[in-house]
Amino acid sequence: MITFESKEFATALKTVSKVVPNRPSHPILGNILIEVSDNETCTLTGFDLSTSIRVKTTCISDEKQTFTLPAQLLNSICSKLPQGELTLSTEITEESVKATLKSGSGKYELQGVPAADYPPLPSIEGQTGEIKADSLNKALKIKSFASTDETKQVLTGVRMSEVDNQLEFAATDGHRLSIVDIGEFNLPENITVPAKTLGTLSHILSNVGKDDVVSFQIHDGMVSFQVNDYSLTTRVLQGDYPEYQKLIPESFVGKVSVDCEELARAINMASLVGNKNDLVRLNFEDNHCKVTNESEKGSVEEQTEIAIEDDPPEQICFAADYINEALKHIPSSSAKLCMNGNDQPAVLFPESDDDLLHLVMPVKIRD
C-alpha cells in the first residue's frame, strides 16, 4: 500500500497530466506511469512521445512497485478529494493492474496497465547550464508571440540562442517579434523549443521559488529542464529560424513615451466597434495620442497623454491585438514607442528594462 497527502499528490498529478494527450496514438500514452522507488518517494510521469514530465512526490510505501493508471480518470478523482490521507493499493500481474484508492469515506477502483507496456523515456546526459527560475520565467513570457499556425512549425517555438555572450530568447509569428536577454551564458548550440512545452514549463516554475535554480541539458535534438522535484524533456523543433536580428532598426526617426496601461485602455475601447483582426489608428500631436477606429458598427475616438521626444509619423496603424499584446508584456508602467515612418517596424522598449523589446509591424492603410 502507498500513502500520500492527497493535495500534494493531486498537484503533482495535474502537472504531469499536461503532456498526456487527449487522443493518444497508443492507448498506454493516456496513462500516468507511477514508480515507487523507495519507502518515501513516488515519481509520476506523463509522456506523449515528444515531451515528458516527471514529478517526484513524497509517500509512505511498504514495497517498490511500478505501474500505470488512466490519467484523465485519476486526475478527475484526485482533484476533488478533500485534504488528508490518500491510500493506493494495487494488485499487479503480467497482464493487468487493479488499483484501489481510499480517501475519507470514498473508495475508487481503477483498471491500469502494466508498466512493461509503457514506452521508454528519453534521457539526456550531462549539464549544459543553470538559470534562476525567476529569470527563466521572465523569458518564457514571450512565448505568446510565437505562431499558432502548425504549417509554420519552426515559428511555433521560442528560439534560444547565444548572442554577444548573452542567452537570448526570441519569438515571432511573422507579424511581430519579442526578444529578451537574461544574462551572460555559453550555449553549446542554438535551439527552438515548442512554445506549448514552455507553457508547461511556466506552470512548473509557478510551483518553485524565484531563487531556485533550473538546470538544463541540450543533446541530440532534445532539451531537458530540471528544478527541484520536476523534470521536463522535449524534442526541439527542426528547421531554420528566421534571422530576426535583421528586422530590428539600428536607429529611429520618431520616439514617444507612452503610459502602457492608458494606451492599452484606449486601444481596447477603440476595438469595441471593430471586427476580428481589427485595426486601430494612432495619431500623434501636441503630446497627445489619439486612438481611433470605425466600422459599420460605429466609431470611437480615445485620447491619451504621451511625451514626444523625436519626430514620430503623424499617423500609424496597427492590428489592435498585436499592439495590445506588446503593451501587456511590458514590465514597467511606461515604454518608448520607436518608429521610422508608418510602414516600417515599430519597437516598444520598456523604460526600466534594456534587455527586452517588442517589435510590431504596422499596417499600411488607405485613407
Based on the fold, state whether residues 267 and 238 are members of the same structural domain: no
Based on the fold, state whether residues 281 and 339 are members of the same structural domain: yes
Alpha-carbon separation of residue 188 from 122, 165, 260, 349 (angstroms): 20, 11, 37, 29
Based on the fold, state whether residues 29 and 74 are members of the same structural domain: yes
Based on the fold, state whether residues 274 and 216 are members of the same structural domain: no
* CA-derived radius of gyration, the chain: 25
Final residue in a domain of this structure, among 117, 138, 167: 117
Mean pLDDT of the residues in the chain: 91
Q: Is the pLDDT of residue 202 over 70?
A: yes
Residue 351 sits in a domain whose CATH number is 3.10.150.10
Helix axis angle for 195-205 and 133-140, nearest 10°, is: 140
Long-range pairs for 89-98 at CB < 8 Å and ≥24 separation? 89/1, 89/2, 90/2, 90/65, 92/65, 92/67, 97/67, 97/68, 97/69
Model's pTM, two decimal places? 0.88
136-180 pLDDT tens trace: 999 999 999 999 998 899 999 999 998 888 899 999 999 999 999
Final residue in a domain of this structure, among 117, 140, 163: 117
Band the pLDDT of 276: cuts 50, 70, 90: low
pLDDT in the model for residue 229:
94
Based on the fold, state whether residues 149 and 190 are members of the same structural domain: yes
Determine, yes or no, domain membership for 325. Answer: yes
Give the residue-averaged pLDDT of 245-254. Answer: 92
pLDDT in the model for residue 354:
74
Final residue in a domain of this structure, among 246, 264, 299: 246
Cell numbers of 104, please? 475519507
Q: Is the pLDDT of residue 365 over 80?
A: no
Distance CA 324, CA 280 (A): 11
Which strand (E) or helix (H) includes residue 327? helix 320-328
44-88 pLDDT tens trace: 999 999 999 999 999 999 889 999 999 999 999 999 999 999 999
Determine, yes or no, domain membership for 124. Answer: no
Distance CA 273, CA 278 (A): 9
Structural domain of residue 38, as residue ranges?
2-117
Give the residue-averaged pLDDT of 184-193. Answer: 86
Q: What single string gives the DSSP state of each residue in 71-118?
A: HHHHHHHHTTSPSSEEEEEEEE-SS-EEEEEEETTEEEEEEEEEGGGS
User: What's the structural domain count of the chain?
Assistant: 3
